[in-house]
Structure 1
Amino acid sequence: METDNSSTNPSIYHSQKIISCIINPAARDGQSIKTWEMVKDKIEKEGLATELFITERVGHASEIAYSLRNRSDIKVIVACGGDGTVHEVSSGLRGSKIPLAIIPAGTGNDVARVHGYISDDLDNIIDIIINGVDRNIGALRIEAEPMPKEENYPSPTADSKWNGTAKENNRIVRWIFHETDSGITSLVSRAKLKRGKWIKGNLKYTYLGITEILKWRKRNAWVKIDNDNPVIINFSLFVFTLSEYFGGGYWVAPGASPIKDHAYLCKAWNLTRLQMLLLMGPLRKGKHVGKWGITLDKCRTLEIKSVNQNNEPVDIAHDPSLPINVDGEPCLQTPARIEFHPKQLWLRGSKDVSWDVS
């Protein structure tokens, strides 16, 4: 699907009245609906009408957003939930002129943070929903193999109506509006689906991170970045991102901006288990680049394949698998091709964000 590439959002949407909210009722242990009710009351006092759509399953937010994308009476569509909900709504809206706003109600809330939303500050959130700046952000198109079902977490479906059709057999397409990562980070995300459910907050990620690092198994991979020659590496971690933060506040790409004509690739190859453990602190503070060969560069395409016993690239999944996070969801796996595309989604954020100084 082709998207509008104009640089300013049509003013017609600022004169419309309806604010539509797509809400994940399970977000923040069920508190998301109460949060929406408080936001709704204040919005309606400003003379704006609202409507609510409640998701019922994984992928439902994309279906709802896609059904709303061409309505002329909608001022803004609000995603109320975590980064997963924001991703789904963004996928359904990609290419629409209706902007997306956010009520952060998840664990990480990285997308909301990047665009100036302050969790639990209702005045900030409402001001952005009503008066925020609409920016046309880029996205990453990933084509990769789906991961299998894990307990109650389903294997992803093609959803070609809004994601498009894969060019390779046995692969599906997803669009990424924040970041994609793979390696030890995606194994942690996958582990979260079945372990550590009794631990709350960021402590869960620390616990899972340590346990996954301790049982890490080496995985070689064929990697091609932009027009560079492909290389065979001991795969540890990459983050291909449009924004500065990921993983609930880790400062992976200082200075990154989602409105540039490129994305950013942080790569960390050949790390030992000890280096993985020691990386967590510097990564949270944005002090990781330069350590143990870690780099951060502009990037537009990234391709990853597994290799056979002769270190030749093959189009089959890694064994053991190498999951890939898609805006925080560990739903895909190698082999994969990821491409940057500019100006894919209108996202409403704060008037003042550090990465938009124009």
Structure 2
Amino acid sequence: MTGGERLRIGLVINPTAGKNTGARIGREAASLLAAGGHDIVDLSAMDGAHALERGRDAIVGQSVDCVVVAGGDGMVHLGVNLVAGTDIPLGIIAAGTGNDNARELGLPVRDAAKAVERITHGATRRIDAVRHVTPHGDERWFVGVLAAGFDAVVNERANGWNWPKGRMRYNLAIARELGVFKPIPYVVEIDGSRHETKAMLVAVANGPAYGGGMKVVPSAEFDDGLLDVLIVHELSIPTLLRVFPRIFKGTHVTHPAVEILRGGHVRLEAKGIVAYADGERFEPLPLECEVVPGAVTVLT
């Protein structure tokens, strides 16, 4: 976007993101955008499904020039599902807890003024997104990392609890899962090449990080037209406990049990696994996904 252009901005705010800082930063950004002479079209809703519906209606009706989301990786996920495959650019006001995709894209974090500056005066960048077509024919997209192993199992367990809140719930879920987790038999197909293995973790990465700073696939790039598939092959639980913390620096990839494969089309098959993408509950396996180069325009 060029400075001085009056924009019709479709704004979606997650008020609970970042321990409720999403509402504060979102409102601050909305005030700054309005003060800059832009028209704000509030697309926020009671939940993500209704926000998607409102956003799609606005895009189809050509009532917005761009979509801006305020929140964490879940809101980026929502924004990507709104604009992927269109020419509508996506602005990101990172106000969540993890903010992995925003951070890896070089965007400001928890700073409304800097985020607004990028949205109104910055350049645009085309990045890849990953498309999955459900059995009902609906398209679902993600832009960061799809988790389909131990990490996804922990997410599923944690999301079944109402207490405790925040990070502690996931730490407790990890502790509970470690006591019963066993290597999972997988079929991983990449561009038609079939791999059968028992693994602790399988992740499909368009971006390099997830989980609040975990560099799960440090070699992944948002605009290289490829997916990086990380496989952590069968390990003992004590070895997994030694290797897993290295994920925060990305040094786990040198371990002999870790393999990274690359391709454009990925199919994952395993029993009892629900995949999570951009931290959001996505789809149960088996699932197929493909990278779509340049599918999303980000205001950077």
Query: Does the alignment pair 1:35 with 2:25?
Result: yes
After the TM superposition, which residues 57-96 of structure 1 pair with which residues of structure 2 at under 5 Å, given as runs? 57-70=47-60, 72=62, 74-96=64-86
CA–CA distance in 1 between the matches of 2:13 and 2:170?
25
CA–CA distance in 2 between the matches of 1:136 and 1:13?
19
CA–CA distance in 1 between the matches of 2:219 and 2:120?
27
Offset of residue 14 of structure 1: 8.1
Query: Does the alignment pair 1:257 with 2:221?
Result: yes
CA–CA distance in 2 between the matches of 1:70 and 1:12?
24
Task: Look up the match of 1:217.
Answer: 182
After the TM superposition, which residues 143-292 of structure 1 pair with which residues of structure 2 at under 5 Å, given as runs? 143=133, 165=137, 173-195=139-161, 197-201=163-167, 203-228=168-193, 230-292=194-256
| Offset from partner CA, 1:35-62 (integer Å, 9 cap, x none) | 2221122223323232322221232222
Query: Does the alignment pair 1:107 with 2:97?
Result: yes
CA pair 322-20 structure 1, distance change in 2 beyond 3 A: same
| Offset from partner CA, 1:138-163 (integer Å, 9 cap, x none) | 12223467xxxxxxxxxxxx5xxxxx
Structure 2 unaligned regions, length at least 5: none
Offset of residue 72 of structure 1: 5.0
Counterpart AA for 1:333: P
CA–CA distance in 1 between the matches of 2:288 and 2:28?
42
Counterpart AA for 1:341: V
Higher helix share: 2
Query: Does the alignment pair 1:334 with 2:299?
Result: no
CA–CA distance in 2 between the matches of 1:92 and 1:19?
14
Offset of residue 91 of structure 1: 0.9
Counterpart AA for 1:301: H
CA pair 249-94 structure 1, distance change in 2 beyond 3 A: same
CA–CA distance in 1 between the matches of 2:204 and 2:273?
15
CA–CA distance in 2 between the matches of 1:118 and 1:197?
31
| Offset from partner CA, 1:212-257 (integer Å, 9 cap, x none) | 12220332122222242x2321132111111121111101222422
SS class of match (1:245): coil
- Whether the 8 Å CA contact 2:199–2:231 is kept in 1: the answer is no
Offset of residue 199 of structure 1: 4.3
SS class of match (1:246): coil
CA–CA distance in 1 between the matches of 2:269 and 2:219?
29
Instruction: Figure out how many residues of one structure are paired with residues of the other and give that number.
Output: 300
CA–CA distance in 2 between the matches of 1:232 and 1:266?
14
TM-score normalised per structure 1: 0.76
CA pair 132-215 structure 1, distance change in 2 beyond 3 A: farther
Task: Look up the match of 2:12.
Answer: 22
CA pair 59-207 structure 1, distance change in 2 beyond 3 A: same
* Percent identical residues: 22
SS class of match (1:220): strand
CA–CA distance in 2 between the matches of 1:235 and 1:36?
40
- Whether the 8 Å CA contact 2:6–2:39 is kept in 1: the answer is no
Structure 1 unaligned regions, length at least 5: 1-10, 146-157, 159-164, 166-171, 307-317, 350-358
- Whether the 8 Å CA contact 2:182–2:200 is kept in 1: the answer is no
CA pair 61-275 structure 1, distance change in 2 beyond 3 A: farther
- Alignment root-mean-square deviation, CA: 2.5
SS class of match (2:181): coil
SS class of match (1:296): strand
1:323 to 259, 262, 274: 274
Offset of residue 177 of structure 1: 1.6
| Offset from partner CA, 1:116-156 (integer Å, 9 cap, x none) | 223222232122121222112112223467xxxxxxxxxxx
SS class of match (1:54): coil
Q: Which range is displaced more, 284-293 or 14-23?
A: 14-23
